[in-house]
Amino acid sequence: MAILKVARLGHPILRRVADPLPPEAIPTPETQRFIDDMIETMREHDGVGLAAPQVHVSRQIAVLEVQGSPRYPDLPAVPLTVLINPALTPLGDETVEEWEGCLSIPDLRGRVPRYRAVRLEALGRQGEPVELVVKEFFARVLQHECDHLKGRVYLDRMPDLGSLAHLREWTRYWLPGPEREE
């Protein structure tokens, strides 16, 4: 497995709609190796999700996982999930505004409104149909990664950039809980 280079905000690939992956390409050794590399890269950077455009590949592939992440120690676990050609449908109009960050926009955090619950339809790692209804943080991560596949970043969803904070200042003044620096 390899750690892939993460594209940073400003790289054109982050603003391009990713190409769907043909189902027949899913079981190929190249695709399976790429998925392994995405998982390894996400874990290396303590991320909870990673989309293919973030590692310079314009394909509709995303990986997610929350298990003991030092960046998100108090969040509920999300099992390792591989999504290919995902489609999300909001379940209702209710949104929740919470803090988000992004491996492609290092050292910044901002408050982003997202739908509280969504329905996911996608293909899984072996090309099997995946259908989930998820809420709260899992729904937020799905929406964040699916935005990457549409050429969007979380900054595009912020109605007010007034909450945008550098990571050090966010940790000092805004991080909830006892980890907060004073």
Q: Is residue 169 among the annotated active site residues?
A: no
**Closest Cα partner for 101 from 59, 163, 40?**
163
**Closest Cα partner for 141 from 32, 54, 90, 65?**
65
Q: Which of 145, 169, 179, 181 is catalytic?
A: 145
**Closest Cα partner for 86 from 158, 155, 150?**
150
User: Which segments of 8-164 are extended strands (E)?
Assistant: 49-51, 61-66, 78-90, 95-102, 105-115, 117-123, 129-135
Give every CB contact of residue 145 below 8 A, 6+ residues apart in sequence: 49, 50, 51, 62, 64, 83, 86
Cα gap 31→117, rounded to integer Å: 30
Q: Which residues have a catalytic role annotated? A: 145
